[in-house]
Amino acid sequence: MPNVLEPTIRALMPDPSTLNDMDKAARRLADAIVKRERVAVFGDYDVDGACSSALMRRFFNAHGLDATIYIPDRMFEGYGPNVPAIQGLVEKGAQLIVTVDCGTTSFEALAPQHRGKTDVLVIDHHQADEQLPEVSAVVNPNRQDDLSGLGHLCAAGVVFMLLVATTRELRQRGYYDKNGRPPDLLAMLDLVALATVCDVVPLQTLNRAYVTRGLEVMRQRQNVGLRALVDAAGLNQPPTPYLLGFVLGPRINAGGRIGDAALGARLLSLDDETEAARIAVQLDKLNRERKAIETAMLEEATAEADRLIDEVPDLPMLVVASERWHKGVVGLVASRLVDRFGRPACVIAWEEGGQGTGSLRSIAGVDIGAAVRAATADGLLLKGGGHAMAAGLTVAREKFEVARTYLAEQVASPATTARAARALEIDGALTPTAANDTLVDLIERAGPYGQGNPQPRFVFPAHRVRFAKVMGEAHLRVTLEADDGSRLEGVAFRAVGQPLGEMLTNTGGMP
């Protein structure tokens, strides 16, 4: 119970050496620091990639090395290492390339013929095939031969363990006896917490410790970039998992979705307050633009999904596509469709060349990543991969219909089972008088909440809706009343135009 209510890094983080190739990677990083080598970090364009890249750069900076960060352009390069980018880093003198949150399946881009004598370390957490890239080390708890049991970590969580292992290696070599104290790794946990929440990995065991301690670090406002982003977002309350996932995370992601993919990693690596403030304001603006794009896309995608379900009510999976959609936002729209229709969804944006870039989201019990990998192996997709709950793909237009049918067939049985088993789980029944500060304190102690540790859900039985009014554009302010006359006020977020919103506004005071 103490590790649940008060999770600590000391109690929950295992020896980093339990991960395959960890010792190899730590030795190679230590060599780069001792030999003062030129290092490049190749990251992904999402929050996990940005945080992982910033962690690596801050670690190298603390040892006097100015590592280069390269984030591929989502629109023109796509996910993961590519041959031109790797060759470009080699030509600029990189002696070591570290890929973070990517690289596990980048066989061609990381092949020796494209990188010459430059060493490569892959630090990742994505699902892996039996074959691995021909590099110096692949540290990935989701390798098929990895027995660490840490597959629930995001990339930043794995990177943090690598930094611990490298610090230990340098200490054993006597490096710090001559070069000062090692960096304070615990002070970097704000970035690990941000990545852990935003990558929606289970908030259990070590991840709970990462987030709990990371939130404490974030309250100290030490990271210049994070501080600037918090200020740009207008936040004046202590950080919570909700604020990380729904306020800060989307702003960092906005750069990769519709702007400069490197903005997030650059911001989180900065110690220059003026430059950090400039980038934070830029990301805040991009996030507002992203919201407008998402709203328009969601309206069209929902209409198309309604049409498909009218034709086939028990359709196991939604696959919608359009030339008008922005491929940097398809994942967000797919998530909204899953929330609304309760089944896996794929949203595809067509490009001028006849290819479509799609993002998929799933429901518990349906491994959408496996379906995408199968379709790719059978030649129906140009590229594809991902996790059980989220995946991405590239499809040729002429194979769209057959790929759509194939994916639906792949998930039909588990989707039917999962949807039939879905139930609204209630943790307890309350009255307005029981919803007090004491209960709130108890709930907060059991946090942080997120994937794998959902917030408790309570029911207020036989209560009447005494008041329901639109708040803003999409929310409802609601007042509930019990039989004894006690009342409770609340907000139904994004309820306008939804079945819940219609029910709340049309009850006429009935329980």
pLDDT in tens, 455-493: 889 898 888 888 888 898 889 899 988 888 888 888 988
Positive or negative torsion for Cα 42, 46, 52, 54: positive
Whole-number Å distance between alpha carbons of 50 and 264: 6
Whole-number Å distance between alpha carbons of 212 and 206: 10
Q: How far is CA 487 from CA 164, 176, 442, in A?
A: 51, 62, 21
Evaluate if residue 505 carries a pLDDT over 90: no
Q: Which residues pair with 429 in a beta bridge?
A: 459
- In terms of phi and psi (left: phi > 0; alpha: psi -120 to 50; beta: otherwise), the region of 213 is alpha
Evaluate if residue 204 carries a pLDDT over 70: yes
Give the relative orientation of helices 224-232 and 273-311 as an angle to the nearest 10 degrees. Answer: 60
Alpha-helical segments (H) within 81-148: 83-91, 112-115
pLDDT digits (tens, 9 = 90+) for 397-448: 999 999 999 999 999 999 888 888 777 788 889 888 888 888 887 887 777 7
Pick from 209-218, 299-308, 498-507: least confident:
498-507
* Tokens encoding 358: 């799609």
| Mean pLDDT value across residues 227-256 | 95
Write down the mean pLDDT value for the chain. 93
**How many H helices and E strands in the chain?**
20, 15
Can you state the percent helix, strand and coil of the chain, rounding each to 5? 50, 15, 35
Whole-number Å distance between alpha carbons of 430 and 127: 42
| Mean pLDDT value across residues 221-240 | 96
Q: What percent of the chain has pLDDT over 90?
A: 73
Top pLDDT among 448 and 69 is at: 69
Q: What percent of the chain has pLDDT over 70?
A: 98
* Tokens encoding 494: 């994004």
Residue 438 host element (H or E):
helix 437-445
pLDDT band at 364 (very low <50, low <70, confident <90, very high): confident
pLDDT digits (tens, 9 = 90+) for 298-320: 999 999 999 999 999 999 999 99
Task: Spell out the residues 6+ positions from residue 164 whose beta carbon is closer than 8 angstroms to its own.
Answer: 13, 16, 185
Torsion, CA 118, CA 123, CA 125, CA 130, rounded to 10: 40
- In terms of phi and psi (left: phi > 0; alpha: psi -120 to 50; beta: otherwise), the region of 498 is beta
Whole-number Å distance between alpha carbons of 216 and 193: 10
Q: Can you name the CATH fold of 15-286?
A: inorganic pyrophosphatase (n-terminal core) (3.90.1640)
- In terms of phi and psi (left: phi > 0; alpha: psi -120 to 50; beta: otherwise), the region of 103 is left
Contact between 249 and 199 (Cβ < 8 Å): no
**Residue indicated by tokens 């066989």:** 107
Q: Can you name the CATH fold of 428-505?
A: OB fold (Dihydrolipoamide Acetyltransferase, E2P) (2.40.50)
Whole-number Å distance between alpha carbons of 109 and 469: 55
Q: Which residues pair with 359 in a beta bridge?
A: 347, 392
pLDDT at 23: 99
pLDDT at 510: 57
DSSP state of 232: H
pLDDT at 294: 97
Q: How far is CA 463 from CA 120, 157, 364, 489, in A?
A: 61, 44, 31, 12
Q: Can you name the CATH fold of 312-421?
A: Diaminopimelate Epimerase; Chain A, domain 1 (3.10.310)
Q: Is the peptide bond prior to 202 cis by the omega test (within 30 degrees of 0)?
A: no
**Torsion angles phi and psi, residue 392, rounded to 5:** -135, 160
**Torsion angles phi and psi, residue 360, rounded to 5:** -120, 145
Whole-number Å distance between alpha carbons of 137 and 157: 17
Torsion, CA 474, CA 332, CA 56, CA 282, rounded to 10: -50
Whole-number Å distance between alpha carbons of 247 and 244: 6
Evaluate if residue 219 carries a pLDDT over 70: yes
pLDDT at 287: 97
pLDDT band at 3 (very low <50, low <70, confident <90, very high): low
DSSP state of 73: -
Question: What residues does CATH 3.90.1640.30 cover in the chain?
Answer: 15-286
pLDDT digits (tens, 9 = 90+) for 322-350: 999 999 999 999 999 999 999 999 999 99
Contact between 468 and 505 (Cβ < 8 Å): yes
Contact between 140 and 104 (Cβ < 8 Å): yes
Question: What residues does CATH 3.10.310.30 cover in the chain?
Answer: 312-421
Contact between 326 and 293 (Cβ < 8 Å): yes
Distance of CA 175 to the CA centre of its chain: 35
Alpha-helical segments (H) within 63-205: 83-91, 112-115, 155-172, 175-179, 189-198
* Tokens encoding 242: 């909700």
Whole-number Å distance between alpha carbons of 293 and 279: 21
pTM for this prediction: 0.87
Top pLDDT among 140 and 74 is at: 140
Total Cβ atoms within 10 A of residue 262: 20
Task: Spell out the residues 6+ positions from residue 355 whose beta carbon is closer than 8 angstroms to its own.
Answer: 382, 394, 395, 396, 397
Whole-number Å distance between alpha carbons of 281 and 479: 37
Residue 331 host element (H or E):
helix 330-341
pLDDT at 124: 98
